[in-house]
Structure 1
Amino acid sequence: MMSLFKRDRDFFDSLFDDFNFTPFVKAETMKTDIKESEKAYEVHVELPGFDKKDVKVSVDNGYLVVEAERKFEPEEEKSGKYIKRERHYGMMKRSFYIGDVSMDTIEGSFNQGVLKLTIPKEIKRIETKKYLELK
C-alpha cells in the first residue's frame, strides 16, 4: 500500500518512493555535480563503495556514459550467519550528452569514491559573413 506521507519527510520527497521498484537505483546513487569553466566542464560523480576497477567511462554517439558495477562475492561464514544485509549489488549507469567530443580529450581520475572528469568545451568557429554566389 502506498503512503503519501511518511514520518520526518516532506510530502514531495516521499511522493514517488513507492514507485522505485529496484532498490539499487535510488536518488542517492550517482550524485553528480557539473561545473563550467572557460575552457571545460568538470564532472564529479559520487560512487561510494566502488573501486576504480568497477567503474567504466565511455563516449557513445555524443553521450558520456558512466557505468559502475558491484558484484556479489559470497563470504565464508565461520562465526555465524547474516540475518540482514543492506549492501546492494548490481550495475548503475548514467549518461550525459556532450556532443562531438573525442574520448582522447577527456581526462579522468577516481579517488575516494569520487569520479572526476574534465571535458573540454567544443571550440565553435564563428564564420565571417559570406554571400551565396548566384548563378
Structure 2
Amino acid sequence: MTDRIPKNLQGASEELSGRTMNHFWQDRQIATDIKEYPDRYEILADLPGVTKENILVHYDAEQLTISATQNFTENDTDDGHYLRRERATASFQRSFAIKNIVAEEITAKYENGVLLLRLPKRTPNLTTGKIITVQ
C-alpha cells in the first residue's frame, strides 16, 4: 500500500496512522480523576453505558484495579439491517498504585455512568519500630 503513496508523504501517513491509533486507545481507557484528602483518596471513573453488574473493583498488594465490560450485543430478531455498526462489546481496565489504604473500608458507588471510590488512608502508626539501646 505504501507504494501508492508518494515517498514524501509516506512518513506523514504513518505518523497520522500512529496518532489515530493512539487516540483510539486513549479513547478506550477509563477516564479518571483522583483527589487526595487528609483521611482518604477519592476516585471518579467515567464508565458511560456500563451496567453496575459489569464493573469489578479489586485492591490487592497496594494496587487498585478497575475493570468494566460494555456489551451492546442485542437481539436482532427484527427485519432491519445495520447500515453502520460501531458499538460492540468492549472491556476496559485501569490500575493504580495506591499505598497505605484500609482495604476493608473501601466503598464504591455507581451513578449516572460515574463510579465513585472512597479509599480511606491507613492512620500512620507512630509507635512502630523499636528503640535499640546502645551498650
| Superposed pair shares fold, TM > 0.5 | yes
Question: What whole-Å deviation, never above 9, does each CA across 1:21-64 have from its counterpart, x for those lacking one?
Answer: xx5x4335311011111211110000001010110111122111
Distance between the aligned counterparts of 1:30 and 1:128, measured in 2?
Answer: 38
Structure with bigger gyration radius: 2
The aligned residue for residue 63 of structure 2 is 63
Unaligned regions of 5+ residues in structure 1, if any? 5-13
The aligned residue for residue 42 of structure 1 is 42
Paired residues of 1:29 and 1:46 also in contact (CA < 8 A): no
Q: How many residues align?
A: 123
What's the offset of the Cα at 1:97?
A: 1.0
For the aligned residue pairs, the C-alpha RMSD in angstroms reads 2.7
Paired residues of 1:57 and 1:64 also in contact (CA < 8 A): yes
Partner amino acid, structure 1, of 2:46: E
Paired residues of 1:2 and 1:18 also in contact (CA < 8 A): no
What's the offset of the Cα at 1:75?
A: 2.0
Distance between the aligned counterparts of 1:128 and 1:115, measured in 2?
Answer: 35
The aligned residue for residue 96 of structure 1 is 96
Partner amino acid, structure 1, of 2:14: M
Structure-2-length-normalised TM-score? 0.75
Partner amino acid, structure 2, of 1:96: F
Distance between the aligned counterparts of 1:52 and 1:127, measured in 2?
Answer: 41
Percent sequence identity over matched residues? 29
What's the offset of the Cα at 1:73?
A: 2.3
What does 1:1-135 align with in structure 2 at a 5 Å threshold? 1-4=13-16, 16-19=19-22, 25-27=25-27, 29-127=29-127, 131-135=131-135
Say which is worse superposed, 67-76 or 52-61, in terms of deviation. Answer: 67-76
Distance between the aligned counterparts of 1:84 and 1:42, measured in 2?
Answer: 39
Secondary structure of 1:78's partner? coil
Query: For the structure 1 residues 128 and 60, does the alpha-carbon distance in structure 2 shift closer, same or farther, using more than 3 Å as the test?
Result: closer
Query: For the structure 1 residues 34 and 3, does the alpha-carbon distance in structure 2 shift closer, same or farther, using more than 3 Å as the test?
Result: same
Distance between the aligned counterparts of 1:36 and 1:66, measured in 2?
Answer: 18
Secondary structure of 2:41's partner? strand
